[in-house]
Structure 1
């Protein structure tokens, strides 16, 4: 008789132990991943890509028309001039280093990258672009500066891709 009572109990235990353990992950997080590199020319003439220290700023760009030149050096501290409003806007996301990975809200954005000041060529070279990111997307943006980019000059984002 005890065996008959034990059998339904074991069956219930087995069925509950075999339930799907995967939890509903819900909506995916929206993430921006920015990577900065610079080409380095070896004495042999070969060129390799290495991580480059930089300042990375990102601004929301819905209904905005940013002017990098009008911003002057204020852009290095995260303040960018918007021609539509006639005001300076503060960066919403930022990082110092060769990489930035941040959760971000979906929408239109403007990214600005400037190499750190150094004695090497390319010091304070910069690049920027507008981009859109969708809900649940992980967007990878990679900027590789040329080995011969002059200091304090603009280089198109898509060069060296």
Structure 2
């Protein structure tokens, strides 16, 4: 299946000069979404991990069903003010600004192996911030997996020696 034909380019969103990869057509087609989730599972089934981390909000869309179908723990990473318990945080730069992410302080146990799952790997800033959170908690990042990767933005440069995979690439 050509999944790319279900990803819509939206010019000048969220600001002028950005071409946003809109995944809502993927999500609105049950056959395509099932194909995507099954394909992602196939790609990561042999990775050594116990936990899947997904960042708010679009990372939840892919990370939670993967965790459910694979019988893995799911850890949400959220924007400031959304988590009710004690938390750790990391700030990062986006291709169109800056942001901060938070995770509960007890979400990851020391030595726990995790993968980070998100929708689109663009500059790598969001993922690098989550790697920082995992390290602060004492966890080990086994790898990063994304629905799509914008390789022309060189996101892997921020991720050093971390294993990176994507279902589709631009």
Range class of TM-score, shorter chain? under 0.3
Under a length normalisation based on structure 1, what TM-score does the superposition of the two structures give? 0.24
Say which one has the larger Rg. Answer: 1
Which has the larger strand fraction? Answer: 1
- Between the two structures, name the one with larger relative contact order (CA 8 Å, sep ≥ 6): 1
